[in-house]
Structure formats: C-alpha cells, structure tokens
Amino acid sequence: MAKIRPFRAVRPARDKEAQVTSRSYERYTKHELEATLTGNPMSFLHIIQPGFKLPEKVTGQHRFDLVREQYREFLDREILIRDEKPSFYVYRMIKENFSCLGFFCATSTEDYENNIIRKHEDTLLRRETLFASYLKVVRFNAEPVLMTYPDNMEIAGILQETSEDKPQCDFKSPDGVQHLLWVVDDPGKIRQLQEAAKEIKSLYIADGHHRSASSCRLARELSELNPEHKGNEAYNYFMSYLVPESEVRIYEFNRMVRGLNGHSAGAVLELLDEHFKVENKGTAVIKPGQKHQFSMYLQGNFYLLTLREDKYNFSDPLSSLDSHILKTLVLDPILGIRDLRNDKRIQYGYGKENTALMKQEVDKGNFSLGFGMLPITVDELKAVADAGLVMPPKSTYIEPKLRSGFTVYEL
C-alpha cells in the first residue's frame, strides 16, 4: 500500500509560471543556459545556478548556500509564493502527440526503503551522496520524481472530475507545451484520493532514481540527528508526480560506437552471425520490426539483426530486454564496451529522427557504427523492477519530462 500525503507547495506567482519554471537543468545546452539566465531574471535557473554573474566558479558548500539564499530571495520578492493549505496538485500536460493527467504529492522514503516504491536503475553512490548533501542545505525539492502506477478507475475518476473545473494555472512554456494545474485542498477530496491510493500496491520510478535515493539517504541522516523523530516530518517524504502507466510514453535510445575494437567490418558481421540472423538492407534508413531485433548501420549499409533465440538463454526479466541483449552479445564481447555509463566510445541518442541522425554521424566519420532497437514496454520495466533487477544505462527515455520550480516541496 503506497502512502501519499498533501503538501504546501511553493509555486510561481500567478501569471509568472511561464517565466519562472524551467526544464531540468541537465537538458539545457551551454548556449541555452546562458541565454535564459541572461534574458530572464525570474527563471528558476537563477536559483539552481546562483553563481552565474560571479567572476569565479561556484562549487560545493558555497554553491549550496547560494542556492538557499537565492530561493529565499525569490520568496521575499514574491516571485515564488507558499500555498496556505496542504494540497494535492492535479496536473495535465498537453503537447504534440502526447498528453497525460496525474498529480503531485509527497511520497514516503519508508516506502522506498520497503520496496513499495520500486526501481529499475542503479544509482551512483557519489551522485547520491552529493545530492543528499545538497538537499540538507537547500531543504527543497524543485523537480518531482516521476512515478507510475497501474491504471486505477477510482483515481482516474477523481483526476478527471477535478480537471473539469477551471484550472488555477494554465500556461504554455517556450517549447509550446501546455501546462494546467488544479489545487486540491478540500479535506474531503484529499481523503478520497488518499483512500484510493491505498489500492496501489507498488509505485514504479520512471525518472528520478538519484533524487529518490538521495532523499532516502537524507531522511536516514536527519532522523538519526533528531532525538524527537516521529516519522511524519517533511524530510521523510519527497515530491513525486504520479501518473497512470497508460499515460507514460517510453522511447528507445540508439547506440553509436567509435571504433570496432580492432575488428574489420567483415569480422564484425561474422561475429554477429553466431547469435543473429544478419540481413543487409541497403542504404535506406530502417528500424526494427519486432522485439529481439536490431538495426545496425555500418559502412554505408543498414543491417537487420534478428536474435537466434535457440542460442540465447532467457533466464529472467532482465535477460529479455533488448538493451541487455545488445550489451551482452554485441557491445561487450565484440566491441569491448563494458562500462556503458562511462566509456567514451559509446554515445546515446533518442527522438523520432534519431535513426537518420545516427546515419549522418556515422557517415561523417564521428562514429564507426550505430544500433537501433524498439522501446522497452511498461510491462518490461515493471517486471525488471519487481524482480529487483536493474536495466543497462540509457534503456529508456520516458515522458512526461517535468519542469523545475512548478511546485516546490520544502523539507
């Protein structure tokens, strides 16, 4: 049973949402970041990147302190305003070919520890520790963890009924995406949503594994430091956006590799033949047509690689993932890439035009070959998480991508 609770969000002042909220910091190019920080003094990026106007680079504890100061300044200037009542926040995103309806809430670190909140990715201890230190100083979550749950008719009814009222917030971000928000602060409706959520046996992290793990680490630390710890303190929760699994979209990452690990192109094709049926499809861009099938672009030609299933051992949910098959049969043994997270020879791409872009990059000589695959399904993601296993890096690109500073949870 998943525990959720309302919270008093800090939100942009009315009609300032489009100026204040931002994409996740990591999704900006250096040029975009500089342009936004220069041209928009109300962007939440000024909180996340407080040393923008300083002559020296700001890092570590100094940066954390400045983030906290900038956050307080935005509150003092009433660019950000704290809601009066604990609330749930129903949120709809609408963009080309995609929309979703879910809600922001506080989720439990205890549920994370007890595997009610389930993971499908490993976290890096260094990043986990660093972000926990950051949270300890700044004391807020600016970007929610994206979680999904099995479709629930009662929750869907509550969300749909709420969304039929006039939204408290309705704006388009610079990328053309429409954002609508409804504040649910009525105690009766809050209880109704909490009761409905009790039917959720497990929540699945779609995006935000490091944020979840860091929040959990911080909760353990603060509980040990607090002699009056009761378990209901704000630090025992972290902000999440919950959305039914039918309303998330999972896309694939393509892989591009530099070098052939000392092999000739012909030798690579011969080595692939042991585990795959290899078909030369010529120069036209192709994509896989079924699971356990891959496209490969090498020396001006596309190849279709179809797994010889009689020569492969499907032992658990992880072994069935195409990203794992590619890693264990091709990237590691043939191309010598064992560390998919840190090896500089491999690069990842996503998007509907990415196969054509992959071809361009190989043709330019920036990479030696590229691989495409079908997206992982929600059922595959859940099966891996339920088994306590973890996917290879860059196995999924998941939407919605949520904005920073839209709702802020204070620890």
Report all structural domains of the chain as residue ranges with CATH numbers, in order of start: 4-249+399-410 (no CATH), 253-395 (3.30.1760)
pLDDT single digits (tens) 74-118: 999 999 999 999 999 999 999 988 999 999 999 999 999 999 999
Q: Are strands 254-257 and 346-349 parallel, antiparallel or unpaired?
A: antiparallel
Q: What pLDDT is stored for residue 55 in this prediction?
A: 60
Rounded average pLDDT per 10-residue block, the chain, 411 residues: 95 96 86 89 93 73 94 97 98 94 98 96 88 96 97 97 97 94 97 95 95 96 94 97 96 95 97 97 94 97 97 95 97 95 91 86 96 96 96 92 96 96
Q: What pLDDT is stored for residue 60 in this prediction?
A: 85
Q: What pLDDT is stored for residue 78 in this prediction?
A: 97
Residue-by-residue DSSP string for 2-16: --EE-B--EEEPTT-
Residues 6+ apart with CB under 8 A from 58: 50, 51, 66
Ramachandran area for residue 216 (φ above 0: left; ψ -120 to 50: alpha; else beta): alpha
Peptide bond into 375 cis (omega under 30): no
CA distance 372 to 350: 10
CA distance 343 to 326: 16
For the chain, give the mean pLDDT: 94
What are 134's two structure tokens?
Answer: 């950051």
CA distance 251 to 315: 25
Q: pTM of this prediction?
A: 0.93
